[in-house]
Amino acid sequence: MKFNKVSVIGLGYIGLPTAAVIASRGVEVVGIDVSELAVNTINQGKVHIVEPDLDMVVQAAVTMGKLRASMVPEPADAFMIAVPTPFKEGKQPDLSYIENAAKAIAPVLEQGNLVILESTSPVGATEKLTGWLQELRPDLVFPGHPSSEPNMFVAHCPERVLPGRVLEELVSNDRIIGGMRPQCSEQAIELYKVFVRGNCISTTARTAEMAKLTENSFRDVNIAFANELSIICDELKINVWELIALANRHPRVNILTPGPGVGGHCIAVDPWFIVDSAPESARMIRTAREVNDGKPGFVINKVEKAADEFKRPVIACLGLAFKPDIDDLRESPALDITLRLASAGVGKILAVEPNIRALPEKLANSGIELVSLEAALAQANIVVVLVNHKQFKGLDKSHFNTKVLIDSSGLIA
């Protein structure tokens, strides 16, 4: 099948880079988003998110007339859905964004179209998407129709890129492509081969969904081991960073780096999808999530004890993003810690986050001040290292001679 026009639904951290890369290959791409700000920004050849080199790729694609954004879906040969999949109360998957995307594109679908779900999803989500589309467009025949040969193609291809290296990994990484039937996988592989140099591996939709969840759960379990080790070492008065460096000299040991918790839109969320699907069996996965979700409370407790030693505690929180050198605050333990410290009235809270220009509303409304690193070090008597941004590295230890340092990320290990 020839893909002359592709529509990407959701122009966030995955959708926009994907749209821009496909457009850079000479394919007409229209991106759809509910945010008028995002749409207007992209149509000016600019970006509303921070990702290395993305601004140049978007500008070039818009200038060439291959990429544009809209709030209204329109006909295309293929539709790629890249919307959020958070969870609801009780850690249950929230598929409302996917359902809303289905409702948005259903009126413009045409026979022979390909619909790909890229959103990280619980097992069975692609089947639900297919069912929603079939209900919305009974004149078309989607995979799984009981009595007719399908004339529509549906597949799941989870994104698996690293923030900060998205453009590179969109092209170089292998892709797992799970069709609702083999013909769906074949069609999706044709589309991904337009821009992917890695291998495109065909499987079922359910296996593709579980593969992404498995990848992130594997990482979560290993991070939980490192975080639990850091708590034990704190209790036993052992430098966990030195300990891990020594243990990792064993040829078959590779302990990860502890931190203030686990954040982002994947690792902090995806394991719960497995737990929701198999609550009695996913015991280790659940425990790892609980360990990592509990780490912010451990850091907060250390800050509160330090604050008790000062008449007027001034606490500098270094970093708000969920990982170094990006602006992404989603599911960030650093942001959670900073907000909870402010809410508890522990002291004056100064936030240092060099990758954002303004605090999110909920932080600003909590009396937290966004300041420079220099201002924070000048004013604070307690410094909490939450994210190892490049701007923080190389700090002279003498900066902390008269301050209490709580280093949750090993910056001054």
- Report domain extents, the chain: 5-198, 252-407
Average pLDDT, the chain: 95
Q: Is residue 90's pLDDT more than 90?
A: no
Distance CA 298, CA 136 (A): 48
At 94, list the tokens: 């929230």
Q: What was the pLDDT predicted at 87? A: 85
The pTM for the full model equals 0.89
CATH number for the domain whose boundaries are 252-407: 3.40.50.720
Report which DSSP code applies to 87.
B
At 396, list the tokens: 């002279």
Q: Is residue 85's pLDDT more than 80?
A: yes
The reply to whether 5-198 and 252-407 are identical in fold is yes
Paired sense of beta strands 153-156 and 175-179, if any: antiparallel
The per-residue pLDDT for range 341-384, each reduced to its tens digit, is: 999 999 999 999 999 989 998 888 999 999 999 999 999 999 99
At 407, list the tokens: 């280093």
DSSP letters, 371-385, are --HHHHHHH-SEEEE
Letter string b/e over residues 169-206, b meaning 16 or more CB atoms within 10 A of that residue's CB: bbeebebbbbbbeeebbebbbebbeeebeeebebbbbb
CATH number for the domain whose boundaries are 5-198: 3.40.50.720
Beta bridge partners of 155: 116, 179
Max CA separation in the chain (angstroms): 76
Q: What was the pLDDT predicted at 246? A: 98
Q: Is residue 113's pLDDT more than 80?
A: yes
53 phi-psi bin (left φ>0, alpha ψ -120 to 50, beta other): left
At 351, list the tokens: 């936030």
Distance CA 37, CA 213 (A): 31
Q: Is residue 293's pLDDT more than 80?
A: yes
Q: Which residues are catalytic?
A: 212, 266
The per-residue pLDDT for range 308-338, each reduced to its tens digit, is: 999 999 999 999 999 898 888 888 999 999 9
